[in-house]
Chains A and B, each alone.
Chain A
């Protein structure tokens, strides 16, 4: 029997896993590692518990016997990256499914019927909790366009808000309203009695 070269193989394994997991969502999102268990649950302020079972997500890389001698390391990396993309997509899909489930349940959905307009964005912001920083500037949530077309429409909407006085004012008014709501929320962080 030949030696297993286990140390090198362990290092390679670690490297591949990090490359797979290291692929980011493409948008900033906070992620946390969970070290044990098979479920996670959120206990809401009102005591309601939302439970989520862990879902196994994986991607398989196949190498045939014929390829064994010919495949180069950069070619393997190409396959790893391809699978990393697939893996990341599955993770993202799972995440959006959970978000969809949650927002549908509480009715926090704006249906723009394939025609994204300024009013839709304003309605969207109105439905959200907007935080403000220590300088009073709004901290907008991350907008994730589902396609290139949506991205273009979204950029167009932003330009309209910047340039059309009517929309500019609507946005300003909305942000003032959101600031008041934020102040109200912050003011409500109280231990009374």
Chain B
């Protein structure tokens, strides 16, 4: 059954879809991954660059999607032939590679080769050999399938329930929202969380195996270029990877490459999203009439602004030079400030990600007052005896919007009055900006709202979508407080309420909060704020 599913996925997958699992398969075979392409306009002609298991020979891999069919001579002549030349004759140039010898070249296709193509490649290889170079190797669907099946070992979702979850995600409409809870459950059941004493090697192998599950499950989203769904899927994947590592005390250096591959998948999805909006800033939904799209426009802008804020901060952290993209992001964020919509606490991580970038590009106090507006918004919408208009972060757009727009007849059957999951975080950020008089003015209203948070029973469960064990805290603050005490409280930044491994990846923490908004807490926000300031 599993073999049939992987085969079906491979037939439908595009290069981007099987690239990451292929990287993990290479790692499993002893290769060291040096570079994995982003599949955007900056492609280098070599999708994956790795070091051979011998520890020195560089290897270049070019992935080719033939939709599970046979690559015929026409396709070969029109497309692949040129790539073969480039792959074999052009030297691998990469800062991590200092090797004067010949590199190995591979073409990886998710189909088979026509007989005529096999002959052509054979002829090509003979010419290559005559020039004293290494011939090109072809990895076809059969070998690829074996690599992935070897990777899956015993860890694939064999239980009927997990298999059902997998298939349900697999057949989802790729244009929609990723069913995050279902996807998270799939990973939870695919990784050895419930086994006692799991060896490091087994954990690492299961992490690689889960990447095949992740890639194949979200294939419909990848094919539709649903970059946000891909972003969410890889963030969830990395979260569960870190959870497993933290649960089993695996040292980070042992899974460094696995983490870097997932991080690059997340970064690349942001990059593709940015490329897309650079081409079409209107974000119009061509599949639906404008009258259904317009009420969601500001919500989409808010999400996009948050994501682009993260992307810009990530580039800055990676010390990417100022280019066309960074000036676009700068303009995009500045002009969308007035369009941001605070429709629920689910959107708070999006707004805070925007804020962290906004303060870098705007030297005025505008960013500080964005925080002030958020405090005012929460204290007004959820004040005592109000209808409690601001839903908590457990409610996403699809659940909340019908009520906000008044098109749902029944009530939400929940109450948000006098409580907030994000007020403490925003307040601490604002106190850090030192606008003392403003804070004094808003303070009486703040004291009427209780600060809510959730703490899982085990620290590593923080990465989970949902925890069975844990405490829901309601904090009542003292109405009379000294500014100095509040200031001291807001300056704390050790991030004790977030897991240890998370602190290795500050930008990923922002991505994590966008996908898991119910994990936002003041301790984490104070920590990330300090991290970004110190960057």
A32-B419, A39-B470 are contacts. A192–B483 as well, Cβ < 8 Å?
A: yes
Which of B385, B474, B478, B480 has a CB less than 8 Å from the CB of A41? B474
Q: In the bound complex, do residue A192 and residue B473 qualify as a contact, i.e. CB atoms below 8 Å apart?
A: no
Decide if A142 is an interface residue (CB 8 Å cutoff).
no
CB within 8 Å: A-B pair count: 96
Name which of A2-10, A93-101, A155-163, A183-191 contacts chain B.
A183-191
Q: How far is the CA of A26 from the CA of B440 in the complex (A)?
A: 40
- With both beta carbons as reference points, the residue of chain B lying nearest to A34 in the complex is identified as B472
Decide if B116 is an interface residue (CB 8 Å cutoff).
no
Decide if B45 is an interface residue (CB 8 Å cutoff).
no
Q: How far is the CA of A24 from the CA of B416 in the complex (A)?
A: 18
A37-B454, A37-B469, A40-B471 are contacts. A188–B480 as well, Cβ < 8 Å?
A: yes
Which of A32, A39, A189 has a CB less than 8 Å from the CB of B447? A189
Q: In the bound complex, do residue A36 and residue B473 qualify as a contact, i.e. CB atoms below 8 Å apart?
A: no
Which of A31, A33, A51, A192 has a CB less than 8 Å from the CB of B480? A192
Contacts of A31 in B (CB 8 A): 414-415
Q: In the bound complex, do residue A189 and residue B480 qualify as a contact, i.e. CB atoms below 8 Å apart?
A: yes
Decide if B328 is an interface residue (CB 8 Å cutoff).
no
Q: In the bound complex, do residue B470 and residue A190 qualify as a contact, i.e. CB atoms below 8 Å apart?
A: no
Q: In the bound complex, do residue A190 and residue B466 qualify as a contact, i.e. CB atoms below 8 Å apart?
A: no
Name which of A42-50, A75-83, A105-113, A114-122 contacts chain B.
A42-50
Decide if B428 is an interface residue (CB 8 Å cutoff).
no
Q: In the bound complex, do residue B469 and residue A38 qualify as a contact, i.e. CB atoms below 8 Å apart?
A: yes
Q: How far is the CA of A38 from the CA of B448 in the complex (A)?
A: 26
Contacts of B486 in A (CB 8 A): 191
Contacts of A41 in B (CB 8 A): 471-474
Q: State which residues 391-429 of B face A: CB under 8 Å.
A: 394, 413-417, 419
Q: In the bound complex, do residue A36 and residue B468 qualify as a contact, i.e. CB atoms below 8 Å apart?
A: yes
Centre residue among B394, B440, B456, B471 by max chain A CB count within 10 A: B471
Contacts of A51 in B (CB 8 A): 471
A35-B518, A37-B469, A37-B471 are contacts. A190–B444 as well, Cβ < 8 Å?
A: yes
Q: In the bound complex, do residue B479 and residue A185 qualify as a contact, i.e. CB atoms below 8 Å apart?
A: yes
Report the minimal beta-carbon distance from A122 to chain B, rounded to whole angstroms.
25
Q: In the bound complex, do residue A189 and residue B470 qualify as a contact, i.e. CB atoms below 8 Å apart?
A: no
- With both beta carbons as reference points, the residue of chain A lying nearest to B471 in the complex is identified as A39
Chain B interface size, as a band, is 35 or more
Q: In the bound complex, do residue B415 and residue A38 qualify as a contact, i.e. CB atoms below 8 Å apart?
A: no
Q: How would residues 496 to 519 of chain B score, 1 for a CB under 8 Å from any chain A CB and 0 otherwise?
A: 000000000000000000000010
Q: In the bound complex, do residue A38 and residue B468 qualify as a contact, i.e. CB atoms below 8 Å apart?
A: yes
Decide if B75 is an interface residue (CB 8 Å cutoff).
no
Decide if A72 is an interface residue (CB 8 Å cutoff).
no
Centre residue among A43, A139, A191 by max chain B CB count within 10 A: A191
Contacts of B419 in A (CB 8 A): 32
Q: In the bound complex, do residue A190 and residue B484 qualify as a contact, i.e. CB atoms below 8 Å apart?
A: no
A41-B474, A42-B474 are contacts. A35–B483 as well, Cβ < 8 Å?
A: no
Decide if B138 is an interface residue (CB 8 Å cutoff).
no
Decide if A30 is an interface residue (CB 8 Å cutoff).
yes
Report the minimal beta-carbon distance from B176 to chain A, rounded to whole angstroms.
20
Q: How far is the CA of A123 from the CA of B477 in the complex (A)?
A: 28
Decide if B475 is an interface residue (CB 8 Å cutoff).
yes
Q: State which residues 453-473 of B face A: CB under 8 Å.
A: 454, 456-457, 466-473
Q: How would residues 268 to 305 of chain B score, 1 for a CB under 8 Å from any chain A CB and 0 otherwise?
A: 00000000000000000000000000000000000000
Q: How far is the CA of A188 from the CA of B481 in the complex (A)?
A: 9
- Per DSSP, chain A at the interface is loop
Q: State which residues 122-178 of A face B: CB under 8 Å.
A: 131, 133, 139
Which of A30, A40, A185, A192 has a CB less than 8 Å from the CB of B472? A40
Q: How far is the CA of A190 from the CA of B477 in the complex (A)?
A: 12
Q: How far is the CA of A51 from the CA of B471 in the complex (A)?
A: 9
Decide if A69 is an interface residue (CB 8 Å cutoff).
no
Q: How far is the CA of A135 from the CA of B384 in the complex (A)?
A: 15
Report the minimal beta-carbon distance from B212 to chain A, rounded to whole angstroms.
29
Q: In the bound complex, do residue A191 and residue B471 qualify as a contact, i.e. CB atoms below 8 Å apart?
A: no
Contacts of A43 in B (CB 8 A): 473-476
A33-B414, A41-B474, A42-B476 are contacts. A191–B440 as well, Cβ < 8 Å?
A: yes
Report the minimal beta-carbon distance from B381 to chain A, rounded to whole angstroms.
15
Contacts of B413 in A (CB 8 A): 21-22, 33
Which of B443, B468, B470 has a CB less than 8 Å from the CB of A191? B443
Q: How far is the CA of A45 from the CA of B474 in the complex (A)?
A: 11
Contacts of A45 in B (CB 8 A): 476-479
Contacts of A46 in B (CB 8 A): 478
Q: In the bound complex, do residue B473 and residue A188 qualify as a contact, i.e. CB atoms below 8 Å apart?
A: no
- With both beta carbons as reference points, the residue of chain B lying nearest to A18 in the complex is identified as B413
Contacts of B417 in A (CB 8 A): 30
Q: In the bound complex, do residue B454 and residue A36 qualify as a contact, i.e. CB atoms below 8 Å apart?
A: yes
Q: How far is the CA of A17 from the CA of B481 in the complex (A)?
A: 45
A32-B414, A191-B439 are contacts. A37–B477 as well, Cβ < 8 Å?
A: no
Q: In the bound complex, do residue A35 and residue B481 qualify as a contact, i.e. CB atoms below 8 Å apart?
A: no
Decide if B482 is an interface residue (CB 8 Å cutoff).
yes
Contacts of A74 in B (CB 8 A): none
Q: How far is the CA of A38 from the CA of B468 in the complex (A)?
A: 6
Q: In the bound complex, do residue A192 and residue B468 qualify as a contact, i.e. CB atoms below 8 Å apart?
A: no
Report the minimal beta-carbon distance from A96 to chain B, rounded to whole angstroms.
20
Q: In the bound complex, do residue B444 and residue A189 qualify as a contact, i.e. CB atoms below 8 Å apart?
A: yes
Report the minimal beta-carbon distance from A13 to chain B, rounded to whole angstroms.
16
Q: How far is the CA of A33 from the CA of B468 in the complex (A)?
A: 15
Q: How far is the CA of A51 from the CA of B470 in the complex (A)?
A: 11
Q: How far is the CA of A156 from the CA of B472 in the complex (A)?
A: 42
Q: In the bound complex, do residue B468 and residue A186 qualify as a contact, i.e. CB atoms below 8 Å apart?
A: no
Report the minimal beta-carbon distance from B3 to chain A, rounded to whole angstroms.
28
Q: State which residues 167-225 of B face A: CB under 8 Å.
A: none
Contacts of B414 in A (CB 8 A): 31-33
Residues of B bordering A, CB below 8 Å: 384-385, 394, 413-417, 419, 439-440, 443-444, 447-448, 454, 456-457, 466-484, 486, 518
Task: List 14 extra interface pairs beyond A46-B478, A190-B480, CB under 8 A.
Answer: A33-B394, A36-B454, A39-B472, A40-B474, A43-B474, A45-B479, A139-B385, A190-B443, A190-B444, A190-B479, A191-B482, A191-B483, A191-B486, A192-B480
Could you write out 10 A-B pairs with CB less than 8 Å apart? A36-B468, A37-B456, A40-B473, A43-B473, A44-B476, A45-B479, A131-B384, A189-B447, A191-B439, A191-B481
